[in-house]
Amino acid sequence: MAVAPMERLLAALQRLSLDPETAVAERVAPLLYYGASAEAPPALRKAYYASAARNLLLFEALDELTAALASQGVQGVVLKGADFARHLYPNEALRPMSDLDIWISAEEATSAEQALASLGYRPGAPEMSSGLARAIRHARLYVGGVRSDVAVDLHWSLVGHDTDRRAPNLEWFRSRARDSRFDPTASLLYLAAHMKLQHYDERLPLIWLSDFYLLSERPEVNWETLFAAARDFRWETALAATAGEVTARLGLELPSPLAAYARTVSMAIPSTREVPSAPGTSSRLSRFAGEPPS
């Protein structure tokens, strides 16, 4: 009988024999607790329940924010952790999060900021000049909310500002958004670009590679569409390098179209010894919440 992707992922993580401290740093401690066949170390149990509590708060904040955005006529797209926790994992506690990522159109940015302000969010850092963030960045961090300890990254572009050579065709992504989330094809491509084009100088936490693996196993992924978009956006190396790192670090075999694609793309994948040892060390959110971003 075929083994489900989640079972393969849990087995791969267990084979790594991570000590509890490393498992927490790599953000896979809840998964190891969930998959433990014997009594799990207390640190894994603590991490699991801490993730469950934190995610409960974040999803309540997300529901409030979604309603506030809708009241302003804005329909945001939920990115990364909050999407994955609800749709890739057996329960929401298994995918630790530290913030919420919402993508809106640039034209909706002012309305979205008003919705955030109505819930008590404030910019995470002041602007040197009003409007500078929107002029040169692809997102801005807001903190606060009703409970005062939620972080929201408001995106009006993806990966880079629309003048950045890394920036994709936003209409392609918009066309692949349904029910406030990307379909698996778009989500898989965006995740690869997020890891390799934005966090290229960091050691990627294992939970991000786990996200990528589970997404790649979704039957809805359209490989031809994925590879064509990667070529059009010049994200081929990012996609192939992410696939290579998943295989190298998790020891998991990816779907054959993706594995074959990765072998055809000319690239240099850094060894895990050549990148910083602490996940998310350069993240602005790590300075806010003490954790790497989701």
The overall average pLDDT reported for the chain is 88
Looking at residue 291, the DSSP 8-state letter turns out to be S
Predicted local distance difference test score (pLDDT) of residue 267 = 62
**What strands, in cross-sheet order, belong to the sheet with 150-155?**
121-123, 139-144, 150-155, 100-103, 77-79, 181-182, 177-178
- How many residues comprise the chain? 294
- Which residue is it, tokens 């084009």? 197
pLDDT band at 286 (very low <50, low <70, confident <90, very high): very low
Predicted local distance difference test score (pLDDT) of residue 252 = 97
Choice between 64 and 145, residue whose per-residue pLDDT is larger: 64
* Entry pTM: 0.88
Q: Which fold has domain 1-156?
A: Beta Polymerase; domain 2 (3.30.460)
pLDDT digits (tens, 9 = 90+) for 76-109: 999 999 999 999 999 999 999 999 999 999 999 9
Predicted confidence (pLDDT) at residue 293 exceeds the cutoff of 60 = no
Query: Tokens standing for 90?
Result: 């057996």
pLDDT digits (tens, 9 = 90+) for 96-152: 999 999 999 999 999 999 999 999 999 988 877 777 777 778 899 999 987 788 999
Per-domain boundaries in the chain: 1-156, 165-283
8 Å CB contact between 112 and 154:
yes
Q: How far apart are the two ends of the chain, measured CA to CA in Å?
A: 34
pLDDT digits (tens, 9 = 90+) for 209-259: 999 999 999 999 999 999 999 999 999 999 999 999 999 999 999 999 999
